[in-house]
A and B are shown apart, each in its own frame.
Chain A
């Protein structure tokens, strides 16, 4: 006997293939669902995906200068540094015309970029441009462009200036990332440490990590008992306590930060009370603000709710019978807590920890206001370059590194704890 296995498509009662019929029936629902979320998708794309993409592009973008000196850079690539000490005549010639005819504002922008590669470029070019404009006005055509340049300024005969072009001839550059890590290119295009007095980012990065880790730990230590109380007190008291937790949430960040200045400064409330109690001398007032301690104290207080709330939401659903069961089975209260209660709060601890850490690492306003000189975090540098030096490439690189670090932490977290274990509410 032969068994035939039917591979024919399933049909509906009307003879239409079942899958096709199902697709048709579901198309409408899918379309409606899509239309409902479309505004949100669009919003996320415009306000989130695009800016981050733009930032990532900007951090490696070096095209502006290439559009200002296209010919010069083309000719520059033909320069065999092993043979000639200085670039060939064509490079000087292209630069001559590009400086003479170029848009003044574009050149200005390009000069800023050139100065990142080697300081001194800006004044050299500005001076040279003035002279070139004079020559062009007179209608003279130089015999040797190279000699003309060197006659204008002797630096044009200094190959180190020309070597720094190397960093700029490509549309893409990693210079901002190296800068963000206190490194730069030397004349040969190798990555080297910055001058000692210009090294500040590594130090700030390390401080940012240190502060973030401490803040996370302090938040956990302070938040855990509060969350436990919130989850276990009778509703009447826990509601009141919850208001105390949330109240700071509804207060302006700026107000809270300045309140800490009032509290912590040398003539502030805490020092005043300590002096009044006789704990410290009047001239021994403790410096608690405008330094790292101030940053730690204020950030811990401000980020505390982000630890308490996820912890609370996890603790609330741990049945009270578990602690009882553990004790009933012979475990002392401490053992019961460590082996039964604590492991069940891990989703909350990790959610709160990740949340606080991620917020702390990119924190700006509070460290800026209470941090003083040695309490500033990386966010302050980003703001500084964004507003003051207008070095957006470096801003973008710092931001991208921050983003990368967070992604690494997220990945590590997923590996160790599992992202499904996170519980935010």
Chain B
């Protein structure tokens, strides 16, 4: 997929600065294949929207070049790029009806009236708003407006669709429903989508690949499962999903694994060596809560005890906040099998597989 000849969108050494002092995007290299659903995920101010705007043509890269279908596009104005876009607040034109909104991109392309009518109807049917053509955007609910925006971005059959936090304004249920709908539409018509969001569950649900942005740099670009299970640095580990951290110093390195001395003499842990290089280096260990098991304390490696600080009942599981090795924010998820009888203040025996502990940068 990273083969240049195959990539449909290619960012090459992109830098972007607004004021000449701060780089909002630093040395961005990103390849997107045709038909792929790629999400740019990151906290606000991480440069993901700027990247999207450069692709749409509303911002110019300070350095580097973006290729679309192997052609450089920096010199092409936005209205000739043939890229559809769903804006954060939909940007539906309030003085036009839904059908007029959808006809607009076709009319400016001088497509014949009957064709426009047919395409608009098809696009409306696709988002299940077939009968809403004569309404004005203000007469629609948030979810319906969202679909109209989606239909408008697709109706002129663009080469690529960009979505800038399109679900940010919807409530939780609707957001989840729309996530599936967008995903299904993508599956059905096979268009390339570049999606921007700060919501990690949205990214995990919808994407083929996710680029995690922070501080203008792509921290990791991977499929959702790899991103979650094998984060390559502590930012990704913390940003995607829930994560327990323990700080320490590398004591020993044995091939792909290492031994870490925890701070304040809290013990040693065997972990996978991921983002550390030498003995004596400081490291942050990352363990997913669901990979920690509670047992009788007979396990040989990575066996610890934790004092229960807080128990939260969540129906299908019980969320226990423990004090483990000096970290009192250590979360364990206990499946609700009906036999968990511990109280706050009790001490539990914990263990985990050393493959599930990743030694990352700090």
B-contacting residues of A (Cβ < 8 Å)? 319, 321-322, 324-333, 335-336, 339-340, 343-344, 346
How far does the Cβ of B169 sit from chain A's closest Cβ, in whole Å? 13
B77 at the interface (CB under 8 A from A): yes
A344 to B57, CA, bound (A): 24
Interface contacts beyond A328-B83, A329-B104: sample of 9 additional A-B pairs, CB < 8 Å, sorted by A? A324-B56, A324-B78, A326-B93, A327-B57, A327-B79, A328-B57, A328-B79, A328-B85, A332-B108
How far does the Cβ of B193 sit from chain A's closest Cβ, in whole Å? 15
**6 tightest A-B CB contacts, nearest first:** A325-B91, A329-B105, A321-B91, A331-B108, A327-B79, A327-B78
B85, B95, B108, B156: the one contacting A325 at CB < 8 Å is B85
How far does the Cβ of A234 sit from chain B's closest Cβ, in whole Å? 12
On chain A, the residues within 8 Å of B152 by CB distance are 329
A335 to B108, CA, bound (A): 8
A319, A327, A340, A346: the one contacting B89 at CB < 8 Å is A319
23 contacts between A and B (CB under 8 A): A321-B88, A324-B91, A326-B104, A327-B57, A328-B56, A328-B57, A328-B78, A328-B81, A328-B83, A329-B79, A329-B84, A329-B105, A330-B80, A330-B105, A330-B156, A331-B104, A332-B79, A332-B108, A336-B79, A340-B104, A343-B95, A344-B93, A346-B95
Closest to A335 in B: B108
Closest to A342 in B: B95
A68 to B108, CA, bound (A): 76
A266 to B60, CA, bound (A): 52
B57, B83, B87, B105: the one contacting A321 at CB < 8 Å is B87
B280 at the interface (CB under 8 A from A): no
A-contacting residues of B (Cβ < 8 Å)? 56-58, 77-85, 87-89, 91, 93-95, 104-105, 108-109, 152, 156
How far does the Cβ of B205 sit from chain A's closest Cβ, in whole Å? 25
Q: Are A324 and B109 in contact (CB under 8 A)?
A: no
Q: Are B91 and A319 in contact (CB under 8 A)?
A: yes
A344 to B94, CA, bound (A): 8
Q: Is the interface of A mostly helix, strand, loop or mixed?
A: helix
On chain B, the residues within 8 Å of A344 by CB distance are 93-95
Closest to B109 in A: A330
Q: Are A325 and B87 in contact (CB under 8 A)?
A: yes
Q: Are B93 and A322 in contact (CB under 8 A)?
A: yes
How far does the Cβ of A79 sit from chain B's closest Cβ, in whole Å? 67
Q: Are A331 and B91 in contact (CB under 8 A)?
A: no
Closest to B92 in A: A325
Known contacts A328-B83, A329-B108, A331-B104; decide if A322 and B91 are in contact (CB<8 Å).
yes
A5 to B79, CA, bound (A): 64
A213 to B156, CA, bound (A): 43
Q: Are B94 and A331 in contact (CB under 8 A)?
A: no
On chain B, the residues within 8 Å of A324 by CB distance are 56, 58, 78, 87, 91
A327 to B152, CA, bound (A): 13
A343 to B136, CA, bound (A): 14
How far does the Cβ of B137 sit from chain A's closest Cβ, in whole Å? 11
Closest to A332 in B: B79
A325 to B78, CA, bound (A): 10
A332 to B107, CA, bound (A): 12
On chain A, the residues within 8 Å of B105 by CB distance are 329-331
On chain B, the residues within 8 Å of A332 by CB distance are 79, 108
A319, A328, A336, A343: the one contacting B84 at CB < 8 Å is A328
Q: Are A321 and B89 in contact (CB under 8 A)?
A: yes
Closest to B164 in A: A321
On chain A, the residues within 8 Å of B94 by CB distance are 344
How far does the Cβ of A360 sit from chain B's closest Cβ, in whole Å? 28
How far does the Cβ of B181 sit from chain A's closest Cβ, in whole Å? 21
Closest to B152 in A: A329
Known contacts A327-B77, A329-B105, A332-B79; decide if A340 and B88 are in contact (CB<8 Å).
no
On chain B, the residues within 8 Å of A343 by CB distance are 95
Most buried by B among A321, A322, A329, A330: A329
Most buried by A among B56, B81, B82, B91: B91
A333 to B58, CA, bound (A): 12
A328 to B77, CA, bound (A): 9
Q: Are B156 and A329 in contact (CB under 8 A)?
A: yes
A329 to B96, CA, bound (A): 15
Known contacts A321-B87, A321-B89, A326-B104; decide if A331 and B79 are in contact (CB<8 Å).
yes
How far does the Cβ of B146 sit from chain A's closest Cβ, in whole Å? 14
On chain B, the residues within 8 Å of A340 by CB distance are 93, 104
On chain A, the residues within 8 Å of B81 by CB distance are 328
A332 to B57, CA, bound (A): 13
A332 to B16, CA, bound (A): 25
A12 to B152, CA, bound (A): 53
Q: Are B79 and A330 in contact (CB under 8 A)?
A: yes
How far does the Cβ of B110 sit from chain A's closest Cβ, in whole Å? 10
How far does the Cβ of A106 sit from chain B's closest Cβ, in whole Å? 63
On chain A, the residues within 8 Å of B93 by CB distance are 322, 325-326, 340, 344
A173 to B88, CA, bound (A): 66
On chain A, the residues within 8 Å of B85 by CB distance are 325, 328
On chain A, the residues within 8 Å of B77 by CB distance are 327
Closest to B85 in A: A328
On chain A, the residues within 8 Å of B80 by CB distance are 330
A332 to B105, CA, bound (A): 11
A327 to B105, CA, bound (A): 9
On chain A, the residues within 8 Å of B156 by CB distance are 329-330
A26 to B32, CA, bound (A): 65
A324 to B108, CA, bound (A): 15
Most buried by A among B80, B89, B105, B108: B108
How far does the Cβ of B101 sit from chain A's closest Cβ, in whole Å? 9
On chain A, the residues within 8 Å of B57 by CB distance are 327-328
A344 to B96, CA, bound (A): 10
A343 to B95, CA, bound (A): 7
A333 to B108, CA, bound (A): 12
Closest to B77 in A: A327
A188 to B87, CA, bound (A): 75
